[in-house]
Structure 1
């Protein structure tokens, strides 16, 4: 079975959530999937850096950035860190920067927009909890699938 979100929706419609179509692709890998790790933060990427410094083991980091479009939560340096540590991708309810460099990395990145301003460092983030983004509740351990057509989430590995 293909891991295309359209095929997965057709085959497993009753088992999945489909995130609202609010994300743009910024990474070099348009299609990516893996088990979810979560962060909740606002305009502070301290915990993003810390988490991407861990072994990703093919996971997808989902960041509830509160939908802020006032600064970026991910740039090329953190993207390179994610690649070095084996992360499959990121889905960010927030912005990225260094978008041309991110597009060259073998990493999936979905975000709201690009923004040139870096984030602040207030260390007020939360990790490994249920987050609500794009109309869906996502929790650590669920599986996320992303491609050209959208982002879907399942409680188990599909395909």
Structure 2
């Protein structure tokens, strides 16, 4: 049975399972706890027993002016064997509901132009292309360890 939840401070092993399933890495419980204890990081998960079927990772971005904070949905991932079961929709909707409840200035995410399935989903959930922002991405690999 699929369980959808926003992870909390007691969900260390769930964060570890997500990172292992989707990033193919093992993280320490301290690293998982750092994520869960950070008030600016939200993890929404879909679990099938202890299997991580999907997740959304979102960050709250404080603004430097008097406007309300923003939410950036950074990851939306569903394991291939669980796709087409509305998991991504439910998880993104959970993040959007929290953003609305917290009175966020706006919520945004970035995806690839050719990611047709994701773009269709985001539009279906009410996402719109920004009329003025034309994104150009610069990566600074010099900052990598």
Larger RCO (CA under 8 A, 6+ residues apart): 1
Relative to its length, the structure with more strand (as a share) is: 1
**TM-score with structure 2 setting the length:** 0.28
Q: Which has the larger radius of gyration?
A: 2
Q: Relative to total residues, which structure has the larger helix share, 1 or 2?
A: 2
TM-score, length-scaled by structure 1: 0.26
